[in-house]
Amino acid sequence: MGCDIIEQARQAFEAGGGRSVALPSDLADCHVVVVLVVNAQQVESVLFGEQGLARHLTPGSLVIQCATVAPAFARELGERLGSLGLAMLDAPVSGGAAKARSGELSVMASGDAGAFEKAEPVLDAMAATVYRLGDSAGVGSSMKLVNQLLAGVHIATAAEAMALGIRLGLDPETVYEVITHSAGNSWMFENRVPHILKGDYTPLSAVDIFVKDLNLVHETGRDLALPTPVASSALQQFTAARGAGFGREDDAAVIKVYQRLSGIDLPAAANDPEGA
Amino acid sequence: MGCDIIEQARQAFEAGGGRSVALPSDLADCHVVVVLVVNAQQVESVLFGEQGLARHLTPGSLVIQCATVAPAFARELGERLGSLGLAMLDAPVSGGAAKARSGELSVMASGDAGAFEKAEPVLDAMAATVYRLGDSAGVGSSMKLVNQLLAGVHIATAAEAMALGIRLGLDPETVYEVITHSAGNSWMFENRVPHILKGDYTPLSAVDIFVKDLNLVHETGRDLALPTPVASSALQQFTAARGAGFGREDDAAVIKVYQRLSGIDLPAAANDPEGA
């Protein structure tokens, strides 16, 4: 059973052999529900909105919350669901659309033993790796936030480094070859710089996602009185990319901020000789 | 033949079977000279200082310049040596003391074909990988600078992420395990966070090195009118670490800046139960 407010998504799901519904409350008969949406507002809407699911679920059912949310929100959510007799796994995922399709996500999960047991067949179908991080909500979301801090900064830094290399007259393909074999490498540099080299900013993961996630890092740091200056500088670059109109492009498009402010030439797309 | 102003280094070199001298000018009979010092000031001193080597070398000799310097400095150096009839390879290295010892450095080199030919037996002994990046001085130093931008930011970001994880109550060892298998990983995260986990800040590469190298990034960006805000925020964290007295500790000690400003507990060294 799948639920999406977008009809096209429901049709694709049905074509793949699933049954679909348009309203969260229509999932009331499910005993395990995976909530995989963009942010805390959407989690709130799906579970506690006007057509929200939480009050319709049978007590004892399990909600697997997979969105990237503030650890404090995840903790409160666990308590609110608990007060309705519902179990929750705080289980943000990593791996993007490709790994979701192949059932090879990484899941950073926390919750009690009963929740993990009930979740097991579902997680087995979704994930290649499930990290069991603790017995209470919030731990999974904390780990995801740490990962997003690193991932977001590494993408902005990859863009900044490529911009500097191009400005210095280096061949972008050679920079990629050397850096991916050097101490400056990161998972994100290796994964995202090819988008820049191809001039292909088709969104696999959009700029707007890191505007959101680095704002979560910033707000969490603020609430804990822990300064995060490096993450904040990366956040400003993603915010600038969004402000310049690239919010829905691939997150590697953060390099266009550097292009606009320095006049460097970026590699052009094969089908777009004028440049992206 | 080896030259070092520090007697202890000369003794160690002799004990290893080498011949050593204390003054650069005493290397006058060498036809290939590797200059591996900390910064441009030292390169200047070794080659053009009072006991400088350049004017004593036989024309046709080769200088392999391995320090991390500004690309503009490397270009000028090539011209100055050229005017004395000397060839130069602009050949910064990567890999640290461990890879230097085992002869497995990475070399990011540029220079003309004759310089590469003359350098070959020496580079074969020093390096596992030699990137031939172009035929003029400055290209090797440009690539090294791009690598150092990434490496420096990744170390500061690893520290910031570990500080956030600790502040959120995550187990530091678990953060390391999860992140090194996730999209947030970097070469530097994987390499430096173990120092934090062991509370061991014995300098393999010191905080002061990244104060220097990220200042080079900043100055190069300034001269080219290319903003580098993420590198600049990392630079401020290394500058703070130096200001707090950790300049000669391992660069992973940049996490102590976050400790001082948030009161988090860092893992203690095994032999230091009070914490580092």
CATH number at residue A239: 1.10.1040.10
Is B50 part of any domain?
yes
How far off is chain B from A198, nearest CA to CA, in Å? 20
Distance between CA atoms of B62 and B54, rounded to whole angstroms? 10
Contact at 8 Å (CB) between B106 and B76?
no
* Same domain for A24 and A147: no
A65 with A167, same domain: the answer is no
Q: What is the pLDDT of residues B218-228, one digit of tens each?
A: 999 999 999 99
Mean pLDDT of B229-236: 98
Q: What's the domain count of chain A?
A: 2
In a domain, B274, yes or no: no
Amino acid at position A103, single letter? G
Q: Would residue B204 count as lying in a domain?
A: yes
Asked if A158 and A64 sit in the same domain, the reply is no
CATH number at residue A118: 3.40.50.720
Indicate the residue among B101, B118, B135 that finishes a domain: B135
Specify whether B113 is located in the same domain as B205.
no
Are B60 and B89 contained in the same domain? yes
Last residue of a domain, one of B78, B113, B135: B135
What does the pLDDT profile of chain A (276 residues) look like in tens digits? 999 999 999 999 999 999 999 999 999 999 999 999 999 999 999 999 999 999 999 999 999 999 999 999 999 999 999 999 999 999 999 988 888 999 999 999 999 999 999 999 999 999 999 999 999 999 999 999 999 999 999 999 999 999 999 999 999 999 999 999 999 999 999 999 999 999 999 998 999 999 999 999 999 999 999 999 999 999 999 999 999 999 999 999 999 999 999 999 999 987 655 544
**Domain check: are B152 and B127 in the same one?**
no
- Least CB-CB distance to B227: which of A191, A217, A261? A261
Chain B, window 167-196: residues with a beta carbon less than 8 angstroms from a chain A beta carbon: 167-170, 174-175, 177-179, 181-189, 191
The domain in which residue A198 lies consists of 142-262
Query: How far is the C-alpha of B145 from the C-alpha of B219, rounded, in Å?
Result: 11
Residue B211 CB contacts under 8 Å (≥ 6 apart), including other chains: B235, B238, B239, B242, B247
Q: Indicate whether B225 and B115 sit together in one domain.
A: no
Measuring CA to CA, how many Å separate B7 from each of B19, B39, B67, B96?
13, 20, 21, 22
d(Cα B180, Cα B130) in Å, to the nearest integer?
28
Inspect the interface and report whether the beta carbons of B149 and A157 lie closer than 8 Å.
Answer: yes
Select from B89, B107, B135 the last residue of a domain.
B135
Among the partner-chain residues B71, B184, B231, the one whose CB lies closest to the CB of A147 is B184
Residue B268 in any domain: the answer is no
Tell me whether residue B212 is one of the annotated catalytic residues.
no
Query: Looking at chain B from residue 17 to 46, which residues have their Cβ under 8 Å from any Cβ of chain A?
Result: none
Asked whether the predicted pLDDT for residue B49 surpasses 90, the reply is yes
Establish if A22 belongs to a structural domain.
yes
pLDDT, averaged across chain B: 96
